[in-house]
Amino acid sequence: MITIFVVDNYLNMKKYILTLFTLAIFINAFAQKRTMVSYFKKDMLTENKNDYDYRRVIQETDTPSLYRLFEFYPDNKEKTVATISKFQPKIVYEGIKESYNKKGTLTSKVNFKTGNLFGLCTYYYDDGKLESVFQYDEQDENAKIPEKPRRRWITGIDSLGNQFIKDGNGTFKKASNKNEVEEGNYLNGYKDGIWRGISNNGSYEEIYNNGIFKSGITTLPDGKQITYDKMEVQPVFKGGMAEFYKYLGRNYKYPTEAVKNRISGKLYVTFVVEKDGSLTDLSLKNDLGYGTKEEALRVLNDCPKWSPGKQHGMPVRVKYNIDINLAAQ
């Protein structure tokens, strides 16, 4: 009896030692995974850990090319939970991304594939009630004819709980505080038929066929009519964005003090391309110091006019965000 007891305890001890050994391996492997923590104020990196809007935690996973991303409000409530494949120079999301408001309520659950929305994406009101469901399809880069929009609207429910889009079909009507109204039908998730809209700049009527924009006509307050074949046109610098960055490179004069102190980094700039193509509302989200910010503002103020953006055939103001990379030689 004693022998059996000793042997039994010996076997249990071996199991116990094996368990501890396995746990030690697990803890050691987990400890070797990198964890990166950063803090953000107004979506800009900050070193002030006592005054921030949210903090971001990026952890390595057992899959070499994937990381887990967590974002937390200052009270430690979750803001974002996601998987990413890259975090430099920008984040590339993969799979499910969940977003929460400050009350801890889920506001969206979306899917990504190589940084692009893909599959079912669900959005909720701040009280947690369902707002919209969209289906994002992969884009055919080889398509030679006008392609349907990648996004199909599957479900739409207003803030009062009334469903206006069901199984991709229904009538959409939107009225904003700016006296803007838009109305039209959805068929199988896409805009279809005649869509009408009214704004302070005039009224418009557009024709869609299974999500593909066909034509539009805008009537201005003075009765003049404008026909157009593109619903939306982005602002463009003469020659494109590559030429715009060349303009910045040619005309930005590195401040002497910045060169002496070997100041390098990124300036995050915002501006508005006005209806006449000029740049206004110039601002920088950060400042590297030594005159770098002031020089950026000077170059942008001297920038030649762009071709303005258009919506419904009418010029509109468009906000831009760009990065200016500075590297001291």
Per-residue pLDDT in tens (0 to 9) along the chain, 329 residues: 323 333 344 334 444 444 444 444 344 444 467 899 999 998 888 889 999 999 999 999 999 899 999 999 999 999 999 999 999 888 999 999 999 999 999 999 999 999 999 999 999 999 999 999 999 998 766 655 556 789 999 999 999 999 999 999 999 998 887 788 999 999 999 999 999 999 888 899 999 999 999 999 999 999 999 999 999 999 999 999 999 999 999 999 999 999 999 989 989 899 999 999 999 999 988 888 999 999 999 999 999 999 999 999 999 999 999 989 988 76
Judge whether 56 and 71 are in contact, CB under 8 Å. yes
Backbone angles phi, psi at 246, to 5 degrees: -65, -40
Tokens of 182: 């838009």
Of 228, 227, 231, 225, the residue nearest 212 (C-alpha): 231
Distance, in Å, from the CA atom of 216 to the CA atom of 225, rounded to the nearest integer, reads 10
Q: What is the pLDDT of residue 82?
A: 98
Q: What is the pLDDT of residue 23?
A: 40
Of 294, 312, 103, 121, the residue nearest 216 (C-alpha): 312
Contacts of 91 (CB under 8 A, 6+ apart): 69, 84, 115
Alpha-carbon torsion (199, 202, 203, 209), positive or negative? negative
CATH architecture of residue range(s) 34-139+149-167:
Alpha-Beta Complex (3.90)
Q: How many CA atoms lie within 13 A of 93 on its CB side?
A: 17
Q: What is the pLDDT of residue 145?
A: 56
Written as one letter, the residue type at 155 is T
Judge whether 84 and 58 are in contact, CB under 8 Å. yes
For residue 210, is it left (φ>0), alpha (ψ between -120 and 50) or beta? left
Distance, in Å, from the CA atom of 312 to the CA atom of 217, rounded to the nearest integer, reads 8
Of 281, 288, 221, 218, the residue nearest 252 (C-alpha): 288
Q: What is the pLDDT of residue 27?
A: 42
pTM of the model: 0.78
Q: What is the pLDDT of residue 201?
A: 82
Q: What is the pLDDT of residue 45?
A: 84
Contacts of 211 (CB under 8 A, 6+ apart): 148, 149, 152, 189, 190, 191, 192
Of 235, 230, 236, the residue nearest 312 (C-alpha): 230
Q: 241-326 adopts what CATH topology?
A: TolA/TonB C-terminal domain (3.30.2420)
**Neighbouring-strand partners of residue 198:** 181, 203
Local structure of residue 236 (DSSP, 8 states): B
